[in-house]
Chains A and B, each alone.
Chain A
Amino acid sequence: MTTNQRTITLNSMEWEDTLKYWNPYIETMSRDEITELQNKRLHTTVEKIYSKVPYYRGLMQEKGMLPADIKMIEDLPHLPFLTKDDLRDTYPYGLLAEPLSSITRIHASSGTTGKQTVVGYTKRDVDLWNECMARCLVMAGSDNTDIVQVCYGYGLFTGGLGAHGGADLIGASVIPASTGNTRRQLTMMKDFGSTVLCCTPSYALYMGDSLAEFGFAKNDLRLKRGHFGAEPWSVNMRHEIEERLGLEAFDIYGLSEIMGPSVSQDCPYHCGLHVWEDAFIPEIVDMETLDPVPDGVMGELVFTTIDKEGMPLIRYRTKDIASLTHEKCECGRVHARMSKLSGRSDDMLIIRGVNVFPSQIESVLLESVGLGATPHYQIIVDRVNNLDTMTVEIELSETMFSDYVKGLEDVENKIRGRVESVLGISCRVRLVEPRAIPRSEGKAKRVIDKRAL
C-alpha cells in the first residue's frame, strides 16, 4: 500500500527530495498524521491478536481487557508486555497470527542468551521490511547507482537478508558477501568498487584495521556509506570507523522479533535513530517499575508492531537501553528518534553493586585516542575473596608504546583514572599485545564474566 502512495507522491516532489526520501508520503508525515495512522493500526492489530493468538488473548484476559479498551495510542501502556520468555514459551509458532500457509519466511534470533526464538513473516511482512530498509538506505544518500556489499550473515540471522532486500528494492547492485574471509571481503570491496557497506560495527573496524595487513590502502576503496548495527557502539567508535574506511557511518537498529535491521536508523544529521512509526510504536519504560518515562529519559526500549501480519507483537521488551525524542528533525522527518543504544540490560554488569555497560568503557577508550588507545578491548570480571574485580584489557598501539616501564604505567594509569571517574568503581587496566583480543566477524564479545562459573 505504501508503495503505491509513493509512486503517486513522487511526481509532485522535487528531485532533491526524492534523493532524501524513499517514501516521501510516509517519511514526511506530521505528528498528527502519524498519530492518526497509529491509532487506527494499533486498534486493528490488537483486535487481530486477540482473536488469532490465544496466548496473548490469555494475557489480556488476565488483566480483564478487551480489544475495545484500546482506542488510541494513549491506551497502549495498559496492555501487557511480551518478552523473549514469551517467545520461548510459545516456541516455535505459538505467537503467529496467520496460518503457516501464509508464512513465507522464518527467521530465528541468534540465541546469544539462550534458546532460539522464532519469527514468521508473511509475503507482505517481507515487503514492509524491504520498504523500511530501502528508506534507511535512501535516507543515508544511496540510490540505484550504488554497489552494496552486505557482510551481515545470511541465514537465520535477519541481518544479511534484511539489508539485501532493501538494497534490492532501491535497485542497487547487491553483493551478498555474507560474513567471513576478511581478505576476500576487502578484495571484493576494492575490485567491485563497493560504495555501501553493511555489517556489524566491530567487523567494520576490524576490516579497517586489516587493510594494511592484506596490502590495501584506504584510497583503494570507494566506500561512501556504511550501515552498521546489531550491537551497541559509541559515537567515538563511529568516528574511528569513518576515519579508517573513509565513509560516513550510519547506525542501523533492528531485532528479529520486531523485523530485523531497519526498525530505525540515523539520518545524515546523526542526532538519533528514526523509528519508522507507521510500522512500529516505540516506548521507553523504567527498567525497574516498567512505567513509561518521558522523552529524554533512559530506559528499556519497547516496541509494538502495527503493520505486521505474521507475528505482530504488542509491547515487546527489547532489553535495549535508550531514550526517545519526538521533536521534528532537521532532515524533515517527524518519526521519533531513539538515542544510540547505551547498552543492553542483558550486557549490564553489576560490579560491586554499580551498573556498568561495556559501551561506557568503550567511550572512555575512544576518548583516549590522544593516548593512542585502540578500541580493541575486553572486560574481565572476576570475584576474588568475595570482592568483584574488573580488569580492562587494551591492545597496545604503537603510539601508546614508550619503551620504559614508567611510560607504559602512565598510560595504564591515565586510562584507569578515566574509566574509574566515569564508572565510579575501581578497576585494573592491563595492556596486551596487538591482536591478543579475539576478533569477531559478528557480534563482538566484550565481556568475560568469570563470576558465573
Chain B
Amino acid sequence: MHITQISAFIENKPGRLAEVIGWLAEDDVNIHALSIADTTDFGILRLIVNDPQKARALLKSRGLTVKLTDVIAVALTHKPGSLAKVLREMDKINASIEYMYAFTSRSSDHDAMVIFRLENQEETTEKLMAAGIEIIDSSKLEYLSK
C-alpha cells in the first residue's frame, strides 16, 4: 500500500538540479512525480520513479546523500472538491501531514493523485482506508501515470 519515494539532498546552486535529473535520464529512470522543498542553502528533491532502488544506487554512486521513504498515494478525480474532501477526512482523524505534493494523470477514473508523507503513517493510512479513501499501490501507480 505504500509507495517508495526517493529523496536526495542537493545544494541550492545553479545547474545542480539539471545535473542530477540528467543522471537519471542517462540511466533511463522515469519520473512519475517530483517535488522540491527548498531553503536558501539547500533543497530536498523528492521523486516517485519507476525503479527507486536503481535510482538510489545511481545517485549514491554520484556522491549524493539519498534516502528511501515510504509515502502514500491517494487517487482522486480531477474535479473541484475532491482534494478538499480527503483533507477534511484527514482532519477528522487528526492526521498530521509532514509534506505532500499533487499531480494529475491521464487515467479516466483516477485522473489526479496526491502523495502524502504522514506522521504515524501506517496507523493513519488504515483509518483513511476505513473512511473510504482510496489509497493506491505502486503497481497501480505505474499504470496510472502511463
Contact = CB atoms under 8 A, between A and B. Distances in A.
Of the candidates B65, B98, B99, B117, the one having the most CB atoms from chain A within 10 angstroms of its own CB is B65
Interface in B45-84: 46, 63-67, 69
A436 B11 contact: yes
Interface in A372-419: 396-398, 400-405, 408-409
B65 A408 contact: no
Given A396-B65, A434-B63, A404 B9 contact: no
B108 interface: no
Contact of B65 (A404, A405, A434): A434
Interface size bracket, A side: 10 to 19
Contact of A404 (B11, B42, B64, B99): B99
A431 B43 CA distance: 11
A448 interface: no
A408 B44 contact: yes
Interface in B89-106: 98-99
A397 B39 contact: no
**Which are the 4 A-B pairs with shortest beta-carbon distances?**
A403-B7, A405-B37, A401-B65, A396-B65
B133 interface: no
Nearest to B11: A433
Contact of A409 (B11, B39, B66): B39
B11 A432 contact: yes
B10 interface: yes
B123 interface: no
B49 to A, nearest CB: 15
A238 to B, nearest CB: 25
Given A404-B37, A404-B117, A408-B44, 10 more contacts: A401-B65, A401-B66, A402-B67, A403-B67, A404-B98, A408-B39, A409-B39, A432-B42, A433-B63, A433-B64
B42 A408 contact: yes
A397 B44 contact: no
B41 interface: yes
B65 A403 contact: no
A397 to B, nearest CB: 7
Interface string A254-295: 000000000000000000000000000000000000000000
A161 to B, nearest CB: 35
Given A396-B9, A404-B117, A430 B64 contact: no
A133 B89 CA distance: 73
10 contacts: A401-B66, A403-B46, A403-B117, A408-B42, A430-B41, A431-B41, A433-B9, A433-B10, A434-B64, A435-B63
Nearest to B99: A404
Interface of A: 396-398, 400-405, 408-409, 430-436
Main secondary structure on B side of the interface with A: strand
A230 to B, nearest CB: 28
A396 B42 CA distance: 11
A402 B44 CA distance: 9
B75 to A, nearest CB: 23
Given A397-B65, A433-B63, A434-B63, A403 B44 contact: yes
Contacts of B65: 396-398, 400-401, 433-434
Interface string B6-42: 0101110000000000000000000000000101011
A212 to B, nearest CB: 10
A400 B11 CA distance: 15
A398 B42 contact: no
A396 B10 CA distance: 10
B5 to A, nearest CB: 8
Nearest to A430: B41
Of the candidates B42, B64, B98, B99, the one having the most CB atoms from chain A within 10 angstroms of its own CB is B42
Nearest to A398: B65
Contacts of A435: 63
B137 to A, nearest CB: 21
A431 B9 CA distance: 9
Contact of B67 (A401, A409, A433, A434): A401
Contacts of A408: 9, 39, 42, 44
B59 to A, nearest CB: 11
Contacts of B5: 403
Contacts of B9: 396, 401, 408, 431, 433
B10 A398 contact: no
B12 to A, nearest CB: 10
Of the candidates A396, A402, A403, A409, the one having the most CB atoms from chain B within 10 angstroms of its own CB is A403
A405 B11 contact: no
Given A401-B65, A404-B99, A431 B42 contact: yes
A130 to B, nearest CB: 42
Contacts of B99: 404
B16 to A, nearest CB: 9
